[in-house]
Structure 1
Amino acid sequence: MDTMSVDVATDRPAGSIAMACDSARTFLEGLVPALAPEAADTVVLVVSELVTNALRHGGGTCTLDLAARPEGIEVAVHDHSPRAPRMRTPDLDVGTGGFGWPLVNRLATATAVTRRATGGKTVSALLPR
C-alpha cells in the first residue's frame, strides 16, 4: 500500500491548497497501475475541497493523508475542530459556500468523520481507482 502525508497551514491559504493538490497529483502519478486521468482529477478535486474546508473551518492547520488501497484511493484530512462537516443549502447569492461537502459525498464511494482521541477530527473519503 502506498501512502503519503502532508502538513498544511493557512499562512498562504491559496498556496497551501495548491501545495496539497500538487502533492496529491505527485502521489497519484507514482502509482502502479496508474489511475485514469479522470480518476486522478477527481481525487485532486476532493483533496482541494477537504483541505479548503479544514483550513476554513477546522482551526487553520491540517494534515492530508493519502493511501492507495486495492478498493480505492483514501483521502483523509485531520484538523483541530471537533465540528463535523454538514450538508447545507449552497449559497448562490453571496457565495459563502455550501458546495464542497455535498460534492465530496457525491464523488466518493464512502465518507466518514471520526473524532480523534487527541482532539479534532478526521474527514475521509474513499474514491474509485
Structure 2
Amino acid sequence: MGAGFHGNFGNTKGTKSMILIKNKSDVEYNEGKMENYLLNNKHPEGKSKAKFLKDVLGYKSGDGKILHDNLVKAILNKKSVKVENTSYGIKKTYKMKLVGKNNKKITSNVVCIFQKDSGKTKYRIIRVYPDKR
C-alpha cells in the first residue's frame, strides 16, 4: 500500500459516501494498527481507545484479529456518516452498534482509510472510539 493518496474516487462528497465496502477481503488486517495502537494501553495516542475497547467491550491485547473481524462485519455494506479527503486517502467514519467480545453492544465510530493502489481499492481500519451522543 502506498503512503500517499491515490485518487480516482470521484469528485463529489455524495459519490464518495456511497462507495460501500462489500467484501471482507477488501479490508486489510493490520496487526500493527490493531495490537500496537488500538489495543495498546501504553500507546501515547491509542491508550484511551485501548481502555474503551477493554473496559467496555472486553477486547484486550492479543485480540486484534477478533476485533478486526468484528469491526469489518459491522461496516460491510454500510454507508459512512462522514467523508474526508486526506493525504493518505479518503477517510470515512461509520457510526454503528459495535458488539464486544463480551457481547455488550455500544454505539461506536469506526474510521477507515481507503486507497487505490494498482487499480485495486483497499481499506484499512485506523480508529475506533465510542459515540459521544
What TM-score, normalized to structure 1?
Answer: 0.28
Question: Normalized per residue, which structure has more helix?
Answer: 1
What TM-score, normalized to structure 2?
Answer: 0.28
